[in-house]
Amino acid sequence: MAKVSVEQVDLAGKRVFLRVDFNVPLDGARITDDTRITAALPTVRHCLEAGASVILASHLGRPKGKPDPKYSLAPAAARLAERLGRPVPLAPDCIGPEVEAAAQALGPGQLLMLENLRFHAEEENNDAAFAQALAGLAQVYVDDAFAAAHRAHASIEAITRYLRPAVAGLLMAKELAALGRIFDKPERPVWAILGGAKVSDKLALVDNLTTKVEGLLIGGGMAFTFLAALGHDIGRSLVEPDRLGAARAVLEQARSAGIPLRLPVDVVAAAGPEATTGLRTVGVREIPSDLMGLDIGPATVGQFAAALKGAGTVIWNGPMGVFEKEPFAAGTLGVARAVSECGGFAVIGGGDTIAAVQQAGVTSRIGYISTAGGAFLEFLEGRVLPGVAALDDA
């Protein structure tokens, strides 16, 4: 996990290829959330103040390997310019003679943003020639895009074969330090909270965590597959019938390892996610056949909060229900408050989980909030992240 940081490299007079993650949500050409741009500012400023010229590179959306004006990085360049208080010109492409000339013309303290890397299919194909063309623009590679570190793409993995040093940006270094802390030398006991819709998305994660934690709390739609595996009648709740055997195996694995795996004891049930009337809080053995569980109930929130009391480390990914709908938000918000009050070091990741913590007003009491979704999950699953493995070891 220990990688060379951008702070350890002499950048004066160098051109830096800075891979960022500016894959921001857009409403037309308007950025609706610039969290990822803001998160990259410390690294951008560090490089500029160290006397480097900076070539920024990112993907945006899924343009399917060809130019698409809808996915231009122009809004991101404009927002970054606002945040920095200096111009951030946008190149017409990310490779080619015009881009090379613009990169070579940069002086210390100047910036250039490349156009969307995914306008070329070679980016997602981890193409060597494309990576070499990107590498030719600069003399130092800095990766600050942890959220994309699970992708073996040309600007993340192949480029490091042709451009060294290859080091971690400040955001990347913070992510690695926080995630390393929860697995390398965690404060015990470690509890993990998992939610979200599908158990199939989290089976590998649950499997890995049972060897790393002292307890697991499972909510959200995925909990109903576990409840069904235990023989409960779950009404019309979300279930993955083809995963019942795997769920039973996980339950047995946790039992054999002596790891408490807590499931909901009550749920908020309704006819569907859009329902505003006819809501009932019922025990998991009493879910009516015509209703579906859409949130964990207050007794479950209480039990989960009690389990977290005194935790040394808490890892949380995934909401406890359809929390974006107000009638089904209480469970997730209750867990957010419990995590913030546990007294241990809490790490959360995933867009919905971050939104829940913000909605609960407890962001400042969370130890670390990861900018990543897929990369966060793959790290917790114990997988090697190509974008991290490619960087210089400390």
**pLDDT number for residue 204:** 84
**pLDDT number for residue 383:** 87
Q: Which of 82-86, 297-301, 379-383 is predicted with the least confidence, judged by mean pLDDT? A: 379-383
Percent with pLDDT over 70 in the chain: 100
Query: What's the rounded mean pLDDT across residues 79-101?
Result: 97
Spatial separation of the C-alpha atoms in residues 258 and 243, rounded to whole Å: 23
**Is residue 36 flagged as an active site residue?**
yes
Q: Which member of 36, 118, 151, 202 is catalytic?
A: 36
Whether 352 has a pLDDT exceeding 90, the answer reads: no
Query: What's the rounded mean pLDDT across residues 79-93?
Result: 97
Nearest to 223 by CA among 214, 232, 212: 232
Pairing label, strands 345-348, 368-369: parallel
**Is residue 321 flagged as an active site residue?**
no
Residue 380 confidence class, pLDDT cut points 50, 70, 90: confident
Residue 1 confidence class, pLDDT cut points 50, 70, 90: low
Query: What's the rounded mean pLDDT across residues 171-186?
Result: 89
Residue 350 confidence class, pLDDT cut points 50, 70, 90: confident
23-68 pLDDT, tens digit each: 999 999 999 989 899 999 999 999 999 999 999 999 999 999 999 9
Q: Return residue ranges of the chain for CATH 3.40.50.1260.
A: 6-173, 186-380
Which pTM value belongs to this model?
0.87
Spatial separation of the C-alpha atoms in residues 180 and 212, rounded to whole Å: 13
Whether 371 has a pLDDT exceeding 80, the answer reads: no
Residue 181 confidence class, pLDDT cut points 50, 70, 90: confident
Residues in a beta bridge with 268: 281, 295
Residue 248 confidence class, pLDDT cut points 50, 70, 90: very high
Spatial separation of the C-alpha atoms in residues 179 and 192, rounded to whole Å: 13
Burial class (CB in 10 A: 0-12, 13-18, 19+), 198: middle
Residue 77 confidence class, pLDDT cut points 50, 70, 90: very high
124-138 pLDDT, tens digit each: 999 999 999 999 999
Q: CA neighbours within 13 Å on the CB side: how many for 198? A: 7
Whether 264 has a pLDDT exceeding 70, the answer reads: yes
Whether 196 has a pLDDT exceeding 80, the answer reads: yes
In sequence order, what are the residues at sequence separation of 6 or more whose Cβ sits closer than 8 angstroms to the Cβ of residue 377? 201, 202, 205, 317, 349, 350
Q: Which member of 61, 302, 374, 382 is catalytic?
A: 374
| Token pair in block for residue 195 | 């939610």
The mean pLDDT of the chain is: 95
Q: Which long-range contacts (CB under 8 A, 24 or more apart) does 100-103 make?
A: 100/136, 100/137, 103/15, 103/53, 103/55, 103/137, 103/138
198-213 pLDDT, tens digit each: 888 888 888 888 888 9
Q: Which member of 283, 351, 367, 382 is catalytic?
A: 351
Q: Name the CATH architecture for the domain at 6-173.
A: 3-Layer(aba) Sandwich (3.40)
What CATH class is the domain 186-380?
alpha beta
Q: Which of 67-71, 128-132, 255-259, 335-339 is predicted with the least confidence, judged by mean pLDDT? A: 255-259
**Is residue 198 flagged as an active site residue?**
yes
Percent with pLDDT over 90 in the chain: 87
Neighbouring CB atoms inside 10 A of 393's CB total 8
Q: Which member of 198, 236, 248, 325 is catalytic?
A: 198
Query: What's the rounded mean pLDDT across residues 7-14?
Result: 98
